[in-house]
Amino acid sequence: MKHLLMIALLLSANAVWSRRGPIPHERTDTPKMKNTTTGRFLYLGDVPKFEGNELEITISKILLTARVTAHVNQGRINTYANQLFMRWKAINDASTDPAFSFHPLVKISKLAEDKPLNTRAWAKIAEQYSSHILDGQEGIYLDKRNEKNYVSNQQEDEYENLISEAHFKYLFDTNERPEDVINDNAKLEQLLSEQNSQRLFKKHMGHLYTASSDRAGYSGYLTFVYPIAATVEGPFDQPKEQTTDLKTAESIEARWWSDKWKDEFGGFPFLLIEWSGVAFHGPITNYSPMDVWYLRRGYVSHGCHRMDSSDILELRALMPADLKKAANKIKVTVLDYFDVTDWNKDGVVEAIDVKYYNIPGSIAVPKGKTIDEAIAPYLVENQKSRFINANQYAEKFYTKATDTLKNIPKYEIVNKKLTRNGTHSEVGLYRFDYRPNRIIQYTEAGYKLMGFDDTFGKYPPKYFQKY
């Protein structure tokens, strides 16, 4: 009966949601500026949303990772399908507005196919990290990425329907069309059932889930690991080693413009770690021959931790909708050295890494060499030890022959303060798979941009943060 009541509430909300639409947060008010893009993006992924006190973030500045631990209770597992449905429905309903347009997904290799040899080589390196969760769904990739390039209104409508259906099929691991499920109460009730929620949670989150918890009322936790960038000054500079919390009043949901930094933040979340301005934010770096944002995983920032655009949106999606009320409950631990933990409770502590490595600013294909020969050093399978060996701060602890780290600092938290206590004699590395792209870009016709307040930020995309 409770599922039927929920179905009735969901279906009765159609008329309201279709009028609301997302709040726009464009990247720049100077559209003629070279290489600018519209900074409005939707999260299409499959993570649940958590309360602030259920989230912990651990940063390793020496190995350039951010590990998020999300504590899971059984209720969240049992209602997982409901959350996925609400996320899908919010996006689907907005897309029915004639003013709303998806920017078509385009493969990086497609953007590069008529470019010079060096550009095609760079694209092949970058494309290792540009797979999408909707891959395998026919028709999701078009030849051009800008919504202005639809050949007709019909093509635009068809593409929006295609993405909505592909998104539904991915989230619910089904071949059924969304309308066939929504219009059948029995099917919709089964879709939202506890049994299906448990199945989908195992399908999407099982490889990241540890069924063990020290918290009363919790059954386990999820572990997400993201590549980050850090300051040009190296791992022993800002932000300082500490256990703190995510900052509240000044965290900006969508920093599309800054008087100091112009349009660099691209409309992505800007989440403060320190009041000085150190934050998690989007990737910034632009490969100008194709206008592609990408994360340079290295010591390249002014102090902030840059993240891949898909990762920063997922990090925000994990957090409560009202971040101003919840941010100070999200614990952030900043380590100069390595993040060492028994992440899956198998009795073995490991240093945490992630399989996202160096994407160069450019690459030259030497005369007489093929693209494949030139990019070989940058392939994921060849970067396992190369990435650490290229890090002047980490390489002295690393032994390539055994793929281990030796004599690295051991951390503990005593009375809510981070301390170092001895060393690990030797630990292996655990490299998480890099998560595929989980976002899509969109625009809305007829919206005008507003001014930006550098202190408080007045342009949060609240509509799509709800789910």
pLDDT 10s digits, 311-361: 999 999 999 887 777 888 999 999 999 999 999 999 999 999 999 998 999
Whether residue 430 is predicted with pLDDT greater than 90 in this model: the reply is yes
For residue 100, what pLDDT is reported?
82
Does pTM top 0.95 for this prediction?
A: no
Summary count for the chain: helices (H), strands (E): 15, 21
Residue 27's pLDDT band, with cuts at 50, 70 and 90, is very low
For residue 263, what pLDDT is reported?
59
Whether residue 255 is predicted with pLDDT greater than 70 in this model: the reply is no
Closest CA to 25 of 252, 259, 250, 246: 252
For residue 216, what pLDDT is reported?
96
Rounded Cα–Cα distance for residues 338 and 184 (Å): 52
For residue 441, what pLDDT is reported?
84
Q: Which of 5-9, 204-208, 373-377, 385-389 has the lowest mean pLDDT?
A: 5-9
Give me the percent of the chain exceeding a pLDDT of 90. 66
pLDDT 10s digits, 163-176: 999 999 999 999 99
Q: Are strands 398-399 and 209-210 parallel, antiparallel or unpaired?
A: unpaired
Closest CA to 432 of 33, 27, 63: 63
Whether residue 213 is predicted with pLDDT greater than 60 in this model: the reply is yes
Residue 260's pLDDT band, with cuts at 50, 70 and 90, is low
For residue 346, what pLDDT is reported?
96
What's the average model confidence in pLDDT over 27-35? Answer: 42
